[in-house]
Structure 1
Amino acid sequence: MAGHGSRPLRGLESTGQSSAGTAKFGRMFRWLEPAALPQSPMQEQELRETLTELAGLMVTSEFQNNIDKGEPPDAPITEREPEDESPDIPAGYTYLGQFVDHDITFDPASSLQRTNDPDALEDFRTPRLDLDCLYGRGPADQPYLYEKPRRGKFILGRNVGVSGMERPDLQRTADNTALIGDKRNDENKIVSQIQALFLRFHNKVYDRIGPNFKPGEEDAHFNETQRIVRWCYQWIVLNDFLPRVCDAGIVESLMPLPDRRGPRLQFYHPHEGTAYIPVEFSVAAYRFGHSMVRPSYSLNDRIIAGSSGGFAGKQFSRIPIFPFPLRDPATDKPLKHQPTDSMAGFGEPLPDDWGIDWKFFFGTPNQQAPGQKQLPQPSYRIDAFLVDPLKDLPEFAGEPTPFGSLAFRNLQRGVSMGLPSGQSIARMMGVARDRILNDEQLWTVRNEGDEISPWADGAAFFAKARSQRWLTGAAPLWYYILKEAEIMENGRHLGEVGSRIVAETLIGLAWNDHYSYLFQMPLWNPSEELLGLPAKLDMLALAEWIDAP
């Protein structure tokens, strides 16, 4: 979606908005050399041209091709797309990942235009899974987030649910600016509703445990609610999100067991006892979610995209992620009636009836017969290809080509941060030789629907780059991680390099937070709170618990 990684961890305007000080970014593999190190302005320009061409190869054209044919840009919700869709990951986890990203990272300083020193960059979010994107600086310092008189519950906006569902928008000012702990969680209409879901979770827990507290114990009431909400969120991140997007065996091998006090981390080691965000995670591995983005989504049974009730005169059950111009394929002129609906956010309130029915985003995919609504909507596969709306991000419309391309921005930022190649990290991790991608796997083949096929455009690109001394045996880390998932895991989840970086970072952050459930009670589960939550809590179960009377 727009904004997810498109700016340098873009977020809050004031560094004073971190709830508990700042931490550092740093390197997980600090002994490895950068994958690309231009030695002159001419080499810098040559490398930029190479990355521009690679970014172009990484963006599909299916969305625009369908529009040019006068067809809806995406398949209807009743059709499966086995070549594109993940058979295992529902679409909601793309945006839960974005929500987690906003909870742990914010860097307003790094730039595409210069080489950056990760050890000198400040992370102005707390490097903990503590939901400071929800709680902000707390009721005493940001009372406008909380209801009077006790300021123990969050204020929510108007209800936009359908079929009797409670689906509030975020609280907004007169100009529709969202009043929340982190403005980034209003950057699209899906992540804003995940924000609202957790706000509602806090409010319901607060009400449920209210009888346990006497008058005058308001602070204790709020703090206990916050602990329960944070621990349940941490549980979901470590036990629901991670095993879906990573190799589940790797995640299991890292987590604490009854006979083991802490996690078994091999590569995430805090500097001087202080948790940090590895740039290999924030700049490369965790950006795997960009390849999972669909070009459009359906929110509930009433949604039909397009301001005229359809798309190019045809019924269509999804909303595009960005506004886009429709053109007459015969004349190439803009059509008179343009669709205006999109998932873009920032200052745009949720329209009536746009409240998400969470079974459209979470659950077990591919359970319905063809011709029925395919719920939950699957995410797209984790592979080296992004949907074409991500080629021209609306927020960078005024910048020169290729700076509006999300793929280019990710690739260029990896160079600016001096990231090692995917192959060098795989070797340092001790990945088996036959599991380390070679140049042929990286550049001459692709996986479509579980079938490996030749990739002529990639082969031609690599031959040119190799003649210019780039990329041979040294693929950009972000690209390598996507290609590893594509070739080794059929796009169903991250491969070994990606899984280890992502899982070790998130588990390491939780372990180094002495207030987390993982540190205080590593074998805890949500059912122990005696609130009717299941022991194996996941996002759909959480949403259903919140909706229940």
Structure 2
Amino acid sequence: MTREMGASRHGMMKGVTAAIAMACEGEAKGTQSLDHRPAAEIGSAQGPRVQAQRNFGRLLDRQEEQPSVEEIRALANRMAETPETATDGPADAGMAFLGQFIDHDLTLDATTRLGVAAGRVEDVENFRTPRFDLDSVFGAGPEVDPWLYGQGGEARGLAFGRGWAAGSLGNPLDLQRNCNDRALIGDPRNDENLFVSQLHGRLFVARYNELLAEETGSDEERFEAARTRLRHEYQNRVLTEFLPAVVAPSVLDPMVSGARAGHLPGPVHWGCAPDMPVEFSAAAFRFGHSMIRQSYDLNDAHGTVDVFSPINRGFSPVKREHNLDFARYFGPAAQKSRSIDTRIVRALIELPPNVVSDHPNLAERNMLRGQHTFCLPTGEAAATALGLDVLDPSPDVEALKMTGRTPLWYYLLWEAEQFGGKLGPLGGTLVAGTILNLMLRDPGSILNLPAEASQAVARVA
């Protein structure tokens, strides 16, 4: 909102400022403002036994004064990628969709409304477990979610690409589907596009079934052993492939070293941080939207397919001829993601009506969610609160006279531009710190394994 929309001459707030302030009134301050920490900090003997929190929380104080809808829209409209500004980044194309999978495995806000202040974030439920436990793949297990699993001799195997239920097209590499072609998976969002659908099915469901076939013992013993192995492979991929692909090494390396030693370094007081900070879920971990390409090569027969092509309509069967060639998404021959920066491809600036009914600019949606739904601090305020250098404004922010009031999501992208297309000190701290913190708090994670067992996982992966 503009500064003119603050307090009136009678001392009363008006407009959006008042609405946001009233909705957030009484909300707890961020954990960085608290003068105490909980007894069970990460790195302590009690740390790994901290129960996963099934709600959201704040790292930093909420902020009442926010840019207006009009200012956010104007900034978002300046973010459209052009042929002159399109830049490939260092990350493989598949990393953007692995990030989407990670997001769906850690967080699901199903109750707040875009641009409407959420009130106390501590009262907003997270419908995913904030752990790298693959509940988006396994659900609550075969007893609670039997529709994810087989029957008889395959009672512990995950249903995948078999028979009539593999979509109406019978693709053996498609997700298992019901008679309405809806995917039978732990999180329905993992069928919203071709890329995350194939990743979910082939890198996780099919891989688990391979691991299950290698195990011996009772059905329950085989299930637990294969699930644990897949979780550790997944966590190792996050640690050794995903984070290095998206976070600048000067930021990431000390954090990973600290995490492997059992204690994350600052500037965040990770011992009293919530499991799922809204700074992460509503801003920082949405950086992947800037990595999306306008088009992708699927395989030898289908090159240069638009990201919103009918081939990629989501929530529908995948034809055999559209199965991804994963060598084009991960590894030395992979096409690249776009650089993490303040440019977004046209397809995301103009989302089609079948994807959203209003606010079709994804950049605008991200900033409205962060600044108006969750009252996040601006990028400048967040950097100041954590004792980091504040960036000079981007040319677009300066042109719109928004200096000092940059939406957090945009600020993190602008920061990444200064760090070679990877997340910098603020963005990298919020993303890598939250991820590593969750692993440290999980007694079964790869970071809490004995050194020999952890090294064995890395060798296998």
Do Structure 1 and Structure 2 share a fold, with TM-score over 0.5? yes
- Shift in CA distance, 430/120, structure 1 to aligned 2, threshold 3 Å: same
Is 2:58 the counterpart of 1:27?
yes
Provide Cα deviations, 1:46-102, integer angstroms capped at 9, x if missing partner.
x1111111111112355xxxxxxxxxxxxxxxxxx995211x211000000000000
Provide Cα deviations, 1:469-511, integer angstroms capped at 9, x if missing partner.
xx2222111111001111x1232x1111111110000000111
**1:181 shift after superposition:** 0.6
* One of 417, 420, 424 as aligned partner of 1:490: 420
Is 2:428 the counterpart of 1:499?
yes
Amino acid at match of 1:239: T
Counterpart residue number, 1:240: 241
Counterpart residue number, 2:3: none
- Shift in CA distance, 22/167, structure 1 to aligned 2, threshold 3 Å: farther
Counterpart residue number, 2:288: 289
- Shift in CA distance, 261/112, structure 1 to aligned 2, threshold 3 Å: closer
- Shift in CA distance, 395/218, structure 1 to aligned 2, threshold 3 Å: farther
* Count of aligned residue pairs for this structure pair: 400
Q: Note if contact 2:160-2:172 (Cα within 8 Å) is conserved in structure 1.
A: no
**1:427 shift after superposition:** 2.4
- Shift in CA distance, 419/522, structure 1 to aligned 2, threshold 3 Å: farther
Amino acid at match of 2:459: A
- Shift in CA distance, 300/399, structure 1 to aligned 2, threshold 3 Å: closer
* One of 513, 517, 526 as aligned partner of 2:442: 513
SS at match of 2:56: strand
* One of 206, 215, 220 as aligned partner of 2:212: 206
- Shift in CA distance, 253/395, structure 1 to aligned 2, threshold 3 Å: farther
- Shift in CA distance, 268/245, structure 1 to aligned 2, threshold 3 Å: farther
Alignment partners' CA distance in 1, 2:320 and 2:85: 32
Counterpart residue number, 2:105: 103
Provide Cα deviations, 1:355-376, integer angstroms capped at 9, x if missing partner.
1121100013xxxxxxxxxx31
Provide Cα deviations, 1:185-211, integer angstroms capped at 9, x if missing partner.
00000101111121111111111123x
Q: Note if contact 2:267-2:387 (Cα within 8 Å) is conserved in structure 1.
A: no
Counterpart residue number, 2:323: 355
Counterpart residue number, 1:133: 136
**1:21 shift after superposition:** 8.3
Instruction: Report matched runs for 1:145-224 at 5 Å.
Output: 145-150=148-153, 151-157=155-161, 168-196=173-201, 197-210=203-216, 213=217, 217-224=218-225
Q: Note if contact 1:22-1:125 (Cα within 8 Å) is conserved in structure 2.
A: no
Q: Note if contact 1:393-1:406 (Cα within 8 Å) is conserved in structure 2.
A: yes
Provide Cα deviations, 1:434-480, integer angstroms capped at 9, x if missing partner.
xx3113xx1x2xxxxxxxxxxxxx3xx744x43xxxx2222111111
Return the TM-score normalized by structure 2.
0.81
**1:398 shift after superposition:** 6.8
User: Where do 5+ consecutive residues of structure 1 fail to align?
Assistant: 1-19, 39-46, 63-80, 160-165, 304-316, 324-340, 365-374, 445-457, 538-549
Is 2:102 the counterpart of 1:124?
no
- Shift in CA distance, 523/256, structure 1 to aligned 2, threshold 3 Å: farther
Return the TM-score normalized by structure 1.
0.68
Counterpart residue number, 2:70: 49
Q: Note if contact 2:55-2:126 (Cα within 8 Å) is conserved in structure 1.
A: yes
SS at match of 1:276: coil
Counterpart residue number, 1:390: 348
- Shift in CA distance, 236/26, structure 1 to aligned 2, threshold 3 Å: same
Instruction: Report matched runs for 1:64-463 at 5 Å.
Output: 83-86=86-89, 88-117=90-119, 118-150=121-153, 151-157=155-161, 168-196=173-201, 197-210=203-216, 213=217, 217-256=218-257, 260-264=261-265, 266-267=267-268, 269=270, 271=272, 275-303=274-302, 317-323=303-309, 341-346=310-315, 348-364=316-332, 375-394=333-352, 399-400=357-358, 403-416=359-372, 417-431=374-388, 433=389, 436-439=390-393, 442=394, 444=395, 458=396, 462-463=398-399
Alignment partners' CA distance in 2, 1:82 and 1:405: 18
Aligned-residue CA RMSD in angstroms? 2.5
- Shift in CA distance, 251/245, structure 1 to aligned 2, threshold 3 Å: same
Provide Cα deviations, 1:266-297, integer angstroms capped at 9, x if missing partner.
415365x8x52111111111111000000111
Alignment partners' CA distance in 2, 1:385 and 1:222: 44
- Higher helix proportion (structure 1 or 2): 2
- Shift in CA distance, 412/227, structure 1 to aligned 2, threshold 3 Å: same
Counterpart residue number, 2:14: none
Provide Cα deviations, 1:501-534, integer angstroms capped at 9, x if missing partner.
10000000111112212123366436x26xxxx6
Q: Note if contact 1:167-1:355 (Cα within 8 Å) is conserved in structure 2.
A: no
Q: Note if contact 1:285-1:502 (Cα within 8 Å) is conserved in structure 2.
A: yes
Amino acid at match of 2:323: G
Q: Note if contact 1:258-1:523 (Cα within 8 Å) is conserved in structure 2.
A: no
SS at match of 2:91: strand
Alignment partners' CA distance in 1, 2:52 and 2:262: 28
- Shift in CA distance, 190/398, structure 1 to aligned 2, threshold 3 Å: closer
Structure 1 range deviating more: 186-195 or 411-420? 411-420
Amino acid at match of 1:427: T
Alignment partners' CA distance in 2, 1:258 and 1:51: 36
Q: Note if contact 2:107-2:130 (Cα within 8 Å) is conserved in structure 1.
A: yes
- Shift in CA distance, 263/110, structure 1 to aligned 2, threshold 3 Å: same
Alignment partners' CA distance in 2, 1:381 and 1:423: 22
Amino acid at match of 1:199: V
Q: Note if contact 2:251-2:424 (Cα within 8 Å) is conserved in structure 1.
A: no
- Shift in CA distance, 343/234, structure 1 to aligned 2, threshold 3 Å: same
Alignment partners' CA distance in 2, 1:423 and 1:261: 30
**1:392 shift after superposition:** 2.5
